[in-house]
Amino acid sequence: MKRTRPARGTFRRICPAGFAARGVVAAAGGLVAAAACGGGTPDVGEGGGAVAGATVAVEAVRAEIERVTRRWEASLIAGAPGEAVADVFTSDAVRLPSGEPAVRGHEAIERALAGSVALREARFTIEDLEVDGNLAFANGTYRVRGPDDVELEGKFLEVWKRLETGWRIHRVMWD
């Protein structure tokens, strides 16, 4: 059964606190800390610009963000997203689930994810990525499927922040 807009509360049955690792990407997981991104700080996003080397730097950032995203997906499929929170989110991250209050910080995010069920599928696809210094802005689509084969699809918007430990989600919202 496929749904593009879940009924209120439906999402909780699949992932109690919604998705947030990839925006939606936030609902189940186990992830390994990603290494800090190498290379210079890009001055422009993927759209191009006059700064030499910016495209290469954006590609390196994208590669690291994709690794962190795959970690989040794995944690959702394992039904253990709380275990991946520190590997995926900044300590002062804010998750903005649709129709629910904001969830702020690691402890609150872990509490919100407590009791998440393992998903059969979790896929977050970044469509656009722009990098500006120590921040990156990503938007894309997600698709998740719960143990009862209910599918949810939607869009997400994320702000990533570069820390000493690598890129982490700083703000995330999804529909």
Query: What confidence tens digit (pLDDT) does each residue in 103-152 have?
Result: 999 999 999 999 999 999 999 999 999 999 999 999 999 999 999 999 99
pTM over 0.85: no
Collect contacts of 113-116 with beta carbons under 8 A, ≥24 apart. Answer: 113/15, 113/16, 113/17, 113/26, 113/27, 113/28, 113/81, 113/82, 113/85, 114/16, 114/82, 115/16, 116/15, 116/16, 116/17, 116/27, 116/28, 116/76, 116/79, 116/80, 116/81, 116/82
Architecture of domain 19-174: Roll (3.10)
41-55, 68-82, 131-145: segment of lowest average pLDDT: 41-55
| pLDDT value of residue 34 | 26
Residue 36 has pLDDT above 90, yes or no: no
Per-residue pLDDT, averaged over 29-52, amounts to: 36
Residue 33 has pLDDT above 90, yes or no: no
Residue 26 has pLDDT above 70, yes or no: no
Higher pLDDT, residue 6 or 63: 63
* Residue ranges covered by each domain of the chain: 19-174
| CA dihedral sign, ordered 10, 14, 15, 20 | negative
